Amino acid sequence: MRKYISVLLAASVSLASSTIMADNNADANDLKDYFIKKFPGVTTDSLVNGAYALDEGLFMQWQDVEDNFPPYEDNLAKGEELYNKPFANGKTFASCFGDDPSAVRVKYPHWDSETQQVVTLEGDINKCLTDNGEKPFKGKKGNLAYVSAYLAYQARGQKINVVVPDDPKAKEAYEMGKQFFYAKRGQLNLSCADCHVYQAGMYVRADLLSPTVGHTTHFPVWRRKWQLADKNEDGFGTLQRRYDGCNKQVRAKPFKNQGEEYRNLEFFHASMSNGLEINGPGYRK
Amino acid sequence: MTKPSQRIAILLSALVLSTGLLSTAAMAADDAVAQGKALAFDRKKGNCLGCHAIEGGELPGNIGPPLIAMKARFPDKKKLYDQIWDATARNPMTAMPPFGKHGALTDKQVELITEYIHTL
């Protein structure tokens, strides 16, 4: 009994203190230091290339695809077309996001003090549609991913800069995302961190596990796996589509698209790439 | 008193019977090992190759140690069973799924996989 009480006490103390701390840049720096020590010769900036940063052979093959025939090009063009297409009311996405499409991606995800929640780029793309009397884009792929990909492409080279403001609710959201990331889940009892922090650089079967620093810079992504999954599939998907895949792989039930759990996770997850360059959309196997 | 020929006949039949029993037991053990191997290699069951190199297995992962010299590492077979059933009992932070505890495998399946892994 005494053991349980001390465990409970320790848990409540650490929760209380971490709620006050919530320093996303300190967390990001800790992880960057960790990976740099774990992977000698790999630079922090190169982590935007995911698993390809860890293996020269894989990197060469991947760069060849990115440079010569990126499979996402056609859908980038579709994203641009959709972004500039007037709504029924004559307005466009620029009425929500401003005149410079290259200045949008870097603002997300962010804490919205008015609604007291984390706002994602994909969430705001759909909000813009519904605010203007249009139907929102469905799901985690297709048009939603194309528009997001276009805005990421426009912002390439800018640095991720997620800010957790000095607001207890914002800090709580960040801590919830962090807790999600480090908590064991699913029948296989694996946390996000198990594969993408502790075991990053190791292989599961033939798949090299990517470090979490640099994960969100290249989203949305075009995945060969997604293209092969369905004959009508073009391979594009949002970050939250990828979260579904991770949950399914550890045999956990995926959470609601753009629901609180995933938005808070995105808030933490994107913070871990603070200071790294946006290089989306990316090609992944 | 039985005749020598009778005694020989009894001895012979006893011999035949016991070898029969022995070979049935050996066949059952071989069968368990074969079933265990199939479960260990099945991606939807044990999927041991996800993380461990095993002789004869293709494209193994390397998160866990190669499965070799298992009798030396686990002289007590029960400890190997326990490790597969719930590796978190020994290390709560382990990346090894608690196959039995979380119902990814039945107790019988864990037993069969243990029989196979212990031969490596």
- The pLDDT tens digits for A126-149 are 999 999 999 999 999 999 999 999
Contact, A158 vs A105, CB < 8 A?
Answer: yes
Maximum mean pLDDT: which of A10-19, A258-267, B10-19:
A258-267
SS3 A280: coil
Q: B56 in the Ramachandran plot: left (φ > 0), alpha (ψ -120 to 50) or beta?
A: left
Res. B15: pLDDT tops 60: no
- Chain A segment 235-274 residues within 8 A of B by beta carbon are 251
Q: Does A96 touch chain B (CB under 8 A)?
A: no
Q: Does A183 touch chain B (CB under 8 A)?
A: no
Q: With contacts defined as CB-CB under 8 Å, which chain A residues touch B91?
A: none
Number of A/B CB contacts below 8 angstroms equals 37
| Whole-number pLDDT of residue A19 | 47
Res. A11: pLDDT tops 60: no
| Whole-number pLDDT of residue A13 | 47
- For chain B, the first-to-last Cα distance in angstroms comes to 52
Would you give the distance in Å from CA A254 to the centre of its chain? 15
Res. B29: pLDDT tops 90: no
Q: With contacts defined as CB-CB under 8 Å, which chain B residues touch A202?
A: 61-63
pTM of the model: 0.88
Chain B residue with CA closest to A197: the answer is B95
Contact, A126 vs A144, CB < 8 A?
Answer: yes
CB atoms A204 and B104 under 8 Å:
no
CB atoms A203 and B62 under 8 Å:
yes
Contact, A149 vs A280, CB < 8 A?
Answer: yes
Helix (H) or strand (E) holding A118: strand A117-119
* A230: confidence class by pLDDT, cuts 50, 70, 90: confident
The Cα of B73 is separated from the nearest Cα of chain A by a number of Å equal to: 23
Chain B residue with CA closest to A187: the answer is B102
Chain A residue with CA closest to B45: the answer is A188
Q: Which residues of B19-56 are buried (b: 16+ CB within 10 A; e: fewer)?
A: eeeeeeeeeeeeebbebbbebbbeeebbbbbbbbbbee
The Cα of A48 is separated from the nearest Cα of chain B by a number of Å equal to: 23
Mean pLDDT check: name the lowest of A20-24, A73-77, A100-104, B75-79. Answer: A20-24
SS3 A117: strand
The B-side interface with A (CB below 8 A) comprises 49-51, 59-63, 88, 95, 97-98, 102-104
* B27: confidence class by pLDDT, cuts 50, 70, 90: confident
The H-assigned helical ranges of chain A are 2-21, 24-38, 56-68, 73-84, 94-97, 121-131, 143-154, 168-182, 192-193, 224-228, 239-249, 260-271
Joined tokens for residue A190:
């694996």
- Tens of pLDDT along A62-111? 999 999 988 898 899 999 999 999 999 999 999 999 999 999 999 999 99
Task: Tell me the average pLDDT of chain A.
Answer: 92
Q: Per-residue pLDDT averaged across B82-98, rounded?
A: 97
C-alpha to C-alpha distance for B68 and B88, rounded to whole angstroms: 21
Orientation angle between helical segments A24-38 and A260-271, nearest 10 degrees: 60
SS3 A111: strand
C-alpha to C-alpha distance for A201 and A210, rounded to whole angstroms: 6
| Whole-number pLDDT of residue A203 | 97
The residues of A that are catalytic are 246
Residue type for B50, please?
G
| Whole-number pLDDT of residue A78 | 95
CATH architecture of A20-284: Orthogonal Bundle (1.10)
Mean pLDDT check: name the lowest of A224-238, A271-285, B41-55. Answer: A224-238
